[in-house]
């Protein structure tokens, strides 16, 4: 078991806890309390910051995570202050 360091700030995790759905339990068990090194949300958070982690990015959206990580900041429409 490897507790994700981002649980307190992760809206997806908070939502999954509240929903207590089977799908939510799956993500928590396999990512948040499991192998979070393969979580798309954590990848984007670590690589670009929380502003780039959209609400609809699921832990298994790895292809999309790589796409976000490879986009330039100007292309994504989000600019560093």
Quickly list H helices, 1-81. 11-19, 22-27, 40-48, 62-70, 73-76
Contact between 44 and ligand SF4 per CB under 6 A: no
Q: Is 36 in the site for ligand SF4 (CB under 6 A)?
A: yes
Binder of ligand SF4 out of 6, 61, 65, 68 (CB under 6 A): 6
CB of 74 to ligand SF4, least distance (A): 25
Give the separation between CA 17 and CA 28, rounded to whole angstroms.
8
CB nearer to ligand SF4: give 31 or 79.
31
Check residue 4 for interaction with ligand SF4 (CB under 6 A): yes
Q: Give the closest residue to 38 by CA, choosing from 76, 2, 13.
A: 2
């Amino acid at each position: 078991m490897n507790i994700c360091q981002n649980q307190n700030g992760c809206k997806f995790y908070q939502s999954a806890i509240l929903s207590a759905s089977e799908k939510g339990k799956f993500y928590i068990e396999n990512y948040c309390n499991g192998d979070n090194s393969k979580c798309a949300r954590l990848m984007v958070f670590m690589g670009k910051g929380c502003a780039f982690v959209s609400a609809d990015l699921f832990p298994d959206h790895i292809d999309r995570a790589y796409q976000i990580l490879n986009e330039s900041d100007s292309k994504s429409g989000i600019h560093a202050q």
